[in-house]
């Protein structure tokens, strides 16, 4: 359950901070990718270098970057978006109180406010503190706020007392984390659906320094993937060399050529939904030169012989299963509706998003688009920001109307 999951481990300033080192290792052994954020007082118990070395990643303590002011100060937002689960272990009474009051005075508490994932809080403190009225009230409140809580164990504490307050063993925390991930779902019309989205251009290399491609930025495909995720889907974004940032929250795999994408898609033939927004080259050079083609070794005029690439969507369409919905894209310069409708039929698609290079505000790299969503008997038009119409299109197809 934890394999491939992205976990933020928040470490606060209690003696049990040293146990968080073992927890980090165990999360990694279970296949999770872990980033660590520590409160400044946690660094008095365990050095941030220990977590940095083990997580092979920077350990975030402060929101602001004193060495390079202004640089990367929105990291807490990106980390918050990136995570599938946020585990605070150990969580002191002080951090617990900050969580209840929505304080954001360090990287850990700021990232927590930005996080959209489920959160597991593992409070640890001395028995007397744990049973104090303020802590008891805060423990009830965090649960009411929707956070998950793992009660501390009873046993020998650093104060020498035997009481409730020990951090549970890593295996208990791992088990609880797996349960949370298993049951957590963004609720929406695509909840429980595996959705594959392709985005961006392909590159068909002629020689090591030249290729045939197109101006696709990948913006529309990335917007479709993000919208599908927000509607509850389990998304995988396959992308070519895009020129837009991809949000951390999206799991991705990369391709370069049409052939690469064709091979990648073989792993996802059972997806519930395929959204094919990639601008796939229809032709590639028959052969690729191993060395750079030199001008002085070729004639004044020269030609490249091309051969067809596989039509990925048409191939998928041939073996479409009942539970599957295929959505294609068509960028046209003439006869928009007619050409798109013919692709819808030929490739056995359920829907096609047709856009014209000649419509104002549409096209490859811009922020806006006009899309004609064509189904077998439907035709709806959507205009506006790519990020917004992506939602509208998916809501039109999968929403409860």
Q: How far is the CB of 352 from ligand CTP (least distance, A)?
A: 7
- Closer residue to ligand CTP, CB minimum distance, 129 or 264: 264
Q: Is 107 in the site for ligand CTP (CB under 6 A)?
A: no
Which of these segments, 30-38, 160-168, 174-182, 272-280, binds ligand CTP (CB under 6 A)? 272-280
Q: How far is the CB of 361 from ligand CTP (least distance, A)?
A: 19
Which of 276, 373, 389, 397 binds ligand CTP (CB under 6 A)? It is 276
Q: Is 263 in the site for ligand CTP (CB under 6 A)?
A: no
One residue of 100, 119, 196, 280 binding ligand CTP per CB under 6 A: 280
* Position among 2, 83, 181, 278 found at the interface with ligand CTP (CB under 6 A): 278
Map residues 313-352 to x or -, x wherever contact with ligand CTP holds by CB under 6 A. x--------------xxxx-----------x---------
Return the HEC string of the chain. Answer: CCCCCEEEEEECCCHHHHHHHHHHHHHHHCCCEEEEEECHHHHHCCCHHHHHHHHCCCCECCCCCCCCCCCCCCHHHHHHHHCCEEEEEEECHHHHHHHHHCCCCCHHHHHHHHCCCCEEEEECCCHHHHCCHHHHHHHHHHHHCCCEECCCEEEECCCCCEEEEECCCHHHHHHHHHHHHHHCCCCCCCCCCEEEEEECECCEEEECCEEECCCCCCHHHHHHHHHHHHCCCEEEEEECCCCCCCCCCCCEEECCCHHHHHHHHHHHCCCCEEEECCECCCEEECCCCCCCCCHHHCCCCCCCCEEECCCHHHHHHHCCCCCCEEEEEEEECCCHHHHHHHHHHHCCCCEEEEEECCCCCCCCCCCEEEEEEECCCCEEEEEEEHHHHHHHHHHHHHCCC
Residue 244 Cβ, how far from ligand CTP at the closest point, in Å? 17
How many residues does the structure list for the chain? 401
Q: Among residues 91 and 238, whose Cβ is nearest to ligand CTP?
A: 238
Size of the site for ligand CTP (CB under 6 A): 14
**One residue of 89, 157, 197, 312 binding ligand CTP per CB under 6 A:** 312
| 214 catalytically annotated | yes
Residue 274 binding ligand CTP, by CB under 6 A: no
**Which residue lies nearer to ligand CTP by CB, 163 or 331?**
331
> Smaller CB distance to ligand CTP: residue 45 or 283?
283
Shortest Cβ distance from residue 45 to ligand CTP (Å)? 53
Of 24 and 228, nearer to ligand CTP (C-beta) is 228
Nearer to ligand CTP, 86 or 255 (CB): 255
How many other C-beta atoms lie within 10 A of the C-beta of residue 297? 7
Choosing from 214, 315, 339, 348, the catalytic residue is 214
Catalog residues that contact ligand CTP under the rule CB under 6 A.
258, 276, 278, 280, 282, 309, 311-313, 328-331, 343
Residues marked active site are found at 214
């Amino acid at each position: 359950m934890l394999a491939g999951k992205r976990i933020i481990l928040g470490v606060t300033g209690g003696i049990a901070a040293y146990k968080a080192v073992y927890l980090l290792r165990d999360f990694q052994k279970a296949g999770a990718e872990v980033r660590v954020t520590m409160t400044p007082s946690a660094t008095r118990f365990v050095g941030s270098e220990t977590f940095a070395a083990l997580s092979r990643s920077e350990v975030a303590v402060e929101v602001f970057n004193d060495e390079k002011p202004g640089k990367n100060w929105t990291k807490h937002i990106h980390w918050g978006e990136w995570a599938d689960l946020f585990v605070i272990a150990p969580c002191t009474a002080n951090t617990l109180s900050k969580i209840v009051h929505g304080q954001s005075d360090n990287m850990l508490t700021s990232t927590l406010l930005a996080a959209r994932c489920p959160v597991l809080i593992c409070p640890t403190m001395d028995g007397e503190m744990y049973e104090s009225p303020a802590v008891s009230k805060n423990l009830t409140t965090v649960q009411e706020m929707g956070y998950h809580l793992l009660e501390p164990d009873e046993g020998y504490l650093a104060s020498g007392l035997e009481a409730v307050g020990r951090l549970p063993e890593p295996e208990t925390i791992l088990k609880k984390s797996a349960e949370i991930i298993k049951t957590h779902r963004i609720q929406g019309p695509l909840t429980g659906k595996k959705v594959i989205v392709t985005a961006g251009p392909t590159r068909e290399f002629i020689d090591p320094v030249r290729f045939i491609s197109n101006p696709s930025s990948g913006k529309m495909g990335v917007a479709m993937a993000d919208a599908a995720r927000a509607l509850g889907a389990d998304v995988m974004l396959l992308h070519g060399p895009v020129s837009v940032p991809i949000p951390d929250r999206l799991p991705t795999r990369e391709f370069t050529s049409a052939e690469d994408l064709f091979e990648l898609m073989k792993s996802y033939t059972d997806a519930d939904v395929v959204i094919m927004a990639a601008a796939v080259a229809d032709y590639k050079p028959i052969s690729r030169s191993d060395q750079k083609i030199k001008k002085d070794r070729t004639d004044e005029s020269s030609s490249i012989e091309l051969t067809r690439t596989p039509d990925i969507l048409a191939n998928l369409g041939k073996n479409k299963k009942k539970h599957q919905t295929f959505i294609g894209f068509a960028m046209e310069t003439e006869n928009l509706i007619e050409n798109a409708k013919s692709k819808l039929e030929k490739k056995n698609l359920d829907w096609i998003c047709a856009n014209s290079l000649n419509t104002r505000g549409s096209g490859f790299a811009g922020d806006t688009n006009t899309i004609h969503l064509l189904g077998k008997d439907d035709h709806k038009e959507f205009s506006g920001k790519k990020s917004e119409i992506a939602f509208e299109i998916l809501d039109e197809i999968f929403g409860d109307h």
